[in-house]
Amino acid sequence: MIKASRLLHVSLLVADLDRARAFYEGVLALEPSPARPAMSFDGTWYDLGAAQIHLICLPNPDPVEGRPAHGGRDRHTALAVTGWEELKNKLDAEGIAYTLSRSGRRALFLRDPDGNALELVEA
């Protein structure tokens, strides 16, 4: 019987790696993984528990315009986060737009500088 057993990584396309790293490292406090192999394109890997986020610096074929304002109605990557109030205060202070989850959970949706939707859920 075939069965997928766990998520290994999520790859997100970014146009400007420095700008994307400023967001993922500066806003979400992720640290780059030293295990990223040499590849034919720029990128950064971040370890999150047993999984990873791969930022891949390649042209993005998806339009940013016309995407749903609420990331919960778009394809998105969900991350468990701690420091919920600190996170919201940081987003507000930096002028980063987000929408709260409509489920009533302590979760919010935002987009990275390349329009990739993220769901941040209080751990």
Domain count within the chain: 1
CA atoms within 13 A on the CB side of 70: 9
Q: Containing H/E element for 26?
A: helix 17-26
Residue at 23 is within a domain: yes
3-state secondary structure of 48: strand
- Taking residues 71-77, what's their average pLDDT? 89
Domain CATH for 75: 3.10.180.10
**pTM for this model (two decimals):** 0.90
Q: For residue 20, give both structure tokens.
A: 């994307």
The DSSP call for residue 32 is: B
- The whole domain housing 27 covers 9-59+67-122
Q: Using one digit for the tens of pLDDT, what is the confidence trace for 26-66? A: 999 999 999 888 889 899 999 999 999 999 998 877 877 88
